[in-house]
Structure 1
Amino acid sequence: MALSLGASKTGKAPASQGIAHRLDIQCARGCPADTETPVRPAAIPPPDLRDRHHLDAITLRIATCADLEEALPSVLRELLDMLNGCPESGTAHSATGELCVVHRAPGQATNTVISPAGIALSAAARQRLQEVVRDIGRDPGARQQASGIAGTPGGVLIALTDAADRGETGRGATGDDWLWLGEPAAPAPSRETPLAHAVIDALSRGLALQQQQARHAEDRQAAVAQALKNERRQLAAELHDTLAQELSYLQMQSARLTRAAHHAPQEVQALAEEVHTQARRTFRQTRELINGAHATWGDAPLACVLEALIEEFETRSSMVFELDNRIQSLHLPDAQSLQVMFIAREAMTNSVRHARATHLRLQLLYQSSGPQPAARVLLTIEDNGCGFDPAEIPAAHFGLGIMQDRARHLGAEFAITQPRQGGTRVTLSWERRDT
């Protein structure tokens, strides 16, 4: 496979004269692959009006698609049919053997080869294209010749992304897209470069707009997430300055009431103790809400969140805590990590306060069924305490209901069971969405 690799002087695509002329160079017989042929300026007539309308519609489809790798194959098939000529139209366009886009989304380190629907490049050809694009990405203005796989026609590789966007290393904040137009195996009588030029322009504009829309969507999501975080922190500050202060005072006064009622009738003692218990519990829950509103883990994996939670409980309890982490790296957004942390904290709090347990184990692993790849994440919290029947929990104790609500918010499955050996097991399972 002989590839002619090129970008315009500025790195923009299409290079209106250089690229179109190279398409003719590749078809010229007797022209060595490594010969640099001078570019002859020529007037390029516009493509057929119907083709222009079709290409504008294709540009819009690319620009507005949600998933480029899902939408682009059918678009590329239409473009390939246009270049090879539609039988219904009776017009002969420039013949092209193969066509594909080598795509790298913003933030990704590897390129993906996207072929037209119904056409698949060989694994060797795809790998070769990825290697060449990776190499040329380091020097956006480079022109080079590469030889490759026997039995595959040659072609031209064209930059669809501005060199300034790719950056010096080819790993800029934006994506990186290249179009490969392969020669047909049999000689073509002619090539109509104006249509090829228009196809390249439609692809270039569509991909640039799609990347722009994707960046704007990410910016909006980040802005919403930051606004929610700021709102949580503002609410936490208000809770700290108002409700938490009042509850702290109420907790101290209820403790005094309990001591003062020491010689009172049994009914009054029980009532005072209940008031003090509820005051302490409400104050603790308010403090947890305030701490949770300020919690942020950035790019830390979920295992680090659980480790921090264990360290917190180790300072408050004599129980032995164990973390069995079987996932190397699982990153969740702050909002999801916060929900998982609250569920785990409530389960651990119940074990410390009510289970009379001496050991608590957290296990994090991928859950799979049979030979299929792991599709879910499973978090298990299990103690060796006395256990309990969820059906017998009084309505006033709403911790279990809150955990269930948080699990529904996560789209997770939540369950409380009693192992045969005793104790309590809390399981939280959700769909694996990490990369």
Structure 2
Amino acid sequence: MNDELKGEVTRGARALVVYPQMKGPRGDRSDLDPEARLEEAKGLALAIGLEVADAMAIVIREARPGTLFGEGQIQNIATACALNEAELIIVDGSLSAIQQRNLEEKLKRKVIDRTGLILEIFGERAATAEGRLQVELAHLDYQAGRLVRSWTHLERQRGGFGFLGGPGETQIEADRRMIRDRMAKIRRELEQVRRTRGLHRDRREKAPWPVIALVGYTNAGKSTLFNRLTGAGVMAENLLFATLDPTMRAIRLPGLEKAILSDTVGFISDLPTQLVAAFRATLEEVTAADVIVHVRDIANPDTESQKRQVLEVLSDLGVITAPEDEEGQEDAAIPIIEVWNKWDLLGADQAGSLREAMEHRDGETIVALSALTGVGCDELLETAGRKLTQDSRTYTFVLPVADGQRFAFLHARGEVLSEQDAGEGEQGPQIRLEVRLSERELGRYRAL
């Protein structure tokens, strides 16, 4: 392979996007139509600063093990590259190391698959130490599968210093060993991060405030909504994967002194398996939430497909304890509020149809809003407040005046209805409180 084909993706490079539409017995894993997949792939390319010269879908009835595409299809790709002066080819699917190498040799251009492209985006966007570790782990996992003997620089052998003699360790074996060692070190560091995150989560559960997690398909408007509700300056652009690292801010809710709002990484179809595993710790924040706000881009033609992708991930995390039934309901272990965002982009007829559909979605909690304009955000806050207090009952607590931790917990997590002097106790003056508290918060109170 030519050395100039190796290396990182260059920002500003002209790229040809190719979506291999599988029509064989296994079919296509994604339920997005080809045009939607192409638009999503172009969005991924733009997110890394590439210039999309052209995009095309190619029907593949039988995948070629060496190149994925047939010879005629490869020639069509080469022609499209020449016509559009494309220097990079993005295959919106998974390529084996052999397929990637053979395509680069035939097309004389760098080829990157969907996994490699998403890894490039994550590598550029990760901001925290944890995020960078997760991205590096995913990169190494991906690279380990790319080490094939066809790469000439890996065929050289090192001197024979082995205990049993012989030709020694080949370069490819040494590279694999170094990758394994580095991955093991990163996993140990990530485990420490997870333990630290777990301690923080335990403290948050004992500490006074409930947590609301924003989830949704990438570019659904989570960060814009997060900024609208908190006044924070989180990166919010019309880009896929604008947010990679979890961000938390305090907000006020009706009936509650304070809650913590958490912004999370966006979901996407066919997320590389390396990233699903690597970002597990980040997504674990969702499992500790008191309420989940599922933000949907309701103006997107593929909003229903995107919803299914998100629900699949939530199911994998154990947030949804049963799959969706025929009526579109899911059994959620954590209360879910569905936000139909970007309402400002809808026409009058479409908005009316959706309003009517919303009225017939029994058992679901839906709020229509525009994070950009702020319309509907107050309704979301009121709905979240009700969700956090919906199973509340009134309890009586008698506490020593000096017990500041429990006082703070009850004021923040519950609705204090009355406070009265309860006289002297073993630990000094006491206060009797009447407090509305949910079963979950009562359990947390008792664990203090």
Normalised-by-shorter TM-score class:
under 0.3
Relative to the length of structure 2, the TM-score reads 0.25
The structure having more radius of gyration, on CA atoms, is 1
